[in-house]
Homo-oligomer: A and B are copies of this chain.
Amino acid sequence: MIPLGGVEEIGLNMTALEYDSDIIVVDAGLMFPEEDTLGVDFIIPDFSYLLQNREKVKAVFLTHGHEDHTGALPFLLKALPVPVYGTPLTLGLVKEKLREHNLENAELIPVMPRDIVQVGVFNVEFVRVTHSIVDGVGLGITTPVGLVVHTGDFKLDPTPVDGQLMDFLRFSEYGERGTVLLMSDSTNAEKGGFTFSEKEVRRAFEDIFAQTRGRIIIATFASNIHRIQQAIDVAVKFGRKVILCGKSIVSNAQIALNLGYLNIPLDTWLTLDDLKNLQDHEVVIITTGSQGEPMSVLSRIAIDEHKHIKIKEGDMVILSAKMIPGNERSIGKIINHLFRRGAQVVYEKVSEVHVSGHASKEELKLMLNLIKPKYFMPVHGEYRHLVYHSMLARKCEILKEHIFLMKDGEILEISETEAKKNGSVNSGRIFIDGKGVGDVEEMVLRDRLRLAHDGIVLILLGIEKLSGTIVSGPDIISRGFVFEDVSQDVINKVRELVSDTIHGLDKEMLSDASLLKAKLRSTLKKYLRDTMDRRPMIMPIILEV
């Protein structure tokens, strides 16, 4: 068992199972950047280990269609075109992404819950789970050393919107049969109690709809088909029409509709063009942007830059999604803007308009009780989530030495008689910035962080190569350092300092560009630190002519 990602972070979920000459991969997810990965669009796991063993890799199994489980797939398939197994909605969503990467010919094999697939030595059964996306599955993987169960992302929703319950029978049978290893979702291992059912959101929607006379705008994740379904159902109940707004939400809804996962009466689904013909109390707009993403429909509505939707007094905006840590401030700004334009806004903090898709402590213990695994590997979490999950496992009588807190790339070797960590393979994070894959590395990010903090100061100097005579400059140019219009004196002082430094040097030093650069850099660095307490990047540029 080699988790290539997902055990040191929320995201990057990807695990390899290897036996002799066979490798199968569970999920291939991306991760959204953090504040210190400046300018990076997203991150994928380093899967070079799979490429080094390309003959062994037989297939990828997807547990569900969220990007933290599927987003690295295009990059993997480009390098390693192997079959991909998944349920219909998962593959429907993935197909869309693959098309953007010109991977229409990828081999996607649809499976249904309880289907069984034999790939190499691995016998893989798909087991339905409930989660915040339709068509999620866990995996029961029979290997030569015993049964390995991977929960995928799950919660125990007693009343799922589509009525498709978690497959308690299969999971219990796995427990009865004897499971060697359980890998289980740790996202909410810090949270006590049970996670509420998705159906609870419907109640909140109904309350809001009942009190609202104006237009209703609901922002949620485009992949949350159940949430969209509930918004539609409540809209129908209250005689409102539904307008889906935004590329991803329209595309996902269409995919779900085609596969029969979404149910929307024909006369309910209208388009933005119909908006002008509707009365306010007839309108529900469902859109994206619940995380404050700057280019999303909701952001554009909030700052009044959307062509068709202008907020007015009486509008009701529902942010039906978790505020993901790190996004609160941008979300907060959007809420302020919407209020300022006269809308009423409700969100997770003030109303029950969102429930999590991940199991809380009691559900996690129940899963541990169903499976009763010999060994346990908490996955899908940062270290603290794995620790809290392992405490739950201890409560469920799993031996301490049978619980493995892994790092990305670490190998857990399991035989019939024992399990132990045994070294590790290449792993890490690949940054995707624009069209570049992996050309932004730590050093580049360090530079960006530095530039972001105090900007850059350039010292320009033209020197005659042989004589060491200054023929041009010194000139000082800065960006992101001080506002030059009002701080001309700072720039002047810097120029003076550089001039003085240069004039204090002998010809020999002047003719050695690298020595001269080092001298200028250290002098200016010290000066700016002492006088201004700032540390801009300093770049002496010496043109020798």
Interface residues of A (CB under 8 A from B): 8, 34-35, 38-39, 190-191, 325-326, 328-329, 332, 335-336, 339-340, 345, 349-350, 382-384, 387-388, 433-436, 438-441, 443-445, 447-456, 458, 460, 462, 471-473, 477, 479-483, 486-487, 490, 531-534, 537, 539, 541, 543-545
- The complex is assembled from copies of this chain, and their number is 2
The reply to whether B433 and A451 form a contact with Cβ atoms under 8 Å apart is no
The reply to whether B35 and A534 form a contact with Cβ atoms under 8 Å apart is no
| Nearest Cβ on chain B to A451's Cβ, whole angstroms | 4
The interface residues of chain B lying within 8 Å CB-to-CB of A445 are 480
The interface residues of chain B lying within 8 Å CB-to-CB of A190 are 349-350
20 A-B residue contacts at CB 8 Å?
A: A39-B455, A191-B349, A326-B326, A326-B328, A332-B382, A336-B383, A340-B383, A434-B532, A435-B531, A435-B533, A441-B486, A444-B483, A447-B479, A447-B480, A448-B453, A451-B480, A458-B458, A458-B539, A471-B545, A472-B544
Q: Which of chain B's residues has its CB closest to A332's CB?
A: B382
A-B contact sample (11 more), CB < 8 A, given A325-B329, A435-B531:
A38-B453, A326-B329, A328-B328, A332-B382, A339-B384, A444-B480, A444-B481, A447-B479, A448-B480, A451-B451, A472-B545
Q: Which of chain B's residues has its CB closest to A385's CB?
A: B336
The reply to whether A382 and B545 form a contact with Cβ atoms under 8 Å apart is no
The residue among A445, A447, A544 with the most chain B CB atoms within 10 A of its own CB is: A447
CA distance A480 to B541 in the complex (A): 17
The interface residues of chain B lying within 8 Å CB-to-CB of A477 are 539, 541
The interface residues of chain B lying within 8 Å CB-to-CB of A482 are 436, 439-440, 444
CA distance A368 to B475 in the complex (A): 62
CA distance A340 to B386 in the complex (A): 11
The interface residues of chain B lying within 8 Å CB-to-CB of A487 are 436, 439
| Nearest Cβ on chain B to A299's Cβ, whole angstroms | 14
The interface residues of chain B lying within 8 Å CB-to-CB of A388 are 350
| Nearest Cβ on chain B to A126's Cβ, whole angstroms | 32
The interface residues of chain B lying within 8 Å CB-to-CB of A387 are 339
CB-CB under 8 A for A541 and B452, given A443-B483, A480-B447: no
Chain A at the B interface: mostly helix, strand, loop or mixed? mixed
The reply to whether A434 and B534 form a contact with Cβ atoms under 8 Å apart is yes
The interface residues of chain B lying within 8 Å CB-to-CB of A325 are 328-329, 332
Q: Which of chain B's residues has its CB closest to A530's CB?
A: B435
Q: Which 7 A-B pairs have the closest CB atoms?
A: A434-B533, A452-B452, A325-B328, A451-B451, A447-B480, A39-B453, A448-B480
Q: Which of chain B's residues has its CB closest to A544's CB?
A: B472
| Nearest Cβ on chain B to A530's Cβ, whole angstroms | 9
The reply to whether A456 and B434 form a contact with Cβ atoms under 8 Å apart is no
The interface residues of chain B lying within 8 Å CB-to-CB of A440 are 482-483
| Nearest Cβ on chain B to A110's Cβ, whole angstroms | 32
CA distance A473 to B325 in the complex (A): 47
CB-CB under 8 A for A336 and B472, given A39-B452, A451-B480, A458-B541: no
The reply to whether A532 and B384 form a contact with Cβ atoms under 8 Å apart is no
The residue among A456, A471, A482 with the most chain B CB atoms within 10 A of its own CB is: A456
CA distance A545 to B471 in the complex (A): 7
| Nearest Cβ on chain B to A152's Cβ, whole angstroms | 23
The interface residues of chain B lying within 8 Å CB-to-CB of A438 are 486
| Nearest Cβ on chain B to A52's Cβ, whole angstroms | 19
CA distance A81 to B527 in the complex (A): 31
Q: Which of chain B's residues has its CB closest to A452's CB?
A: B452
CA distance A274 to B332 in the complex (A): 46
| Nearest Cβ on chain B to A540's Cβ, whole angstroms | 11
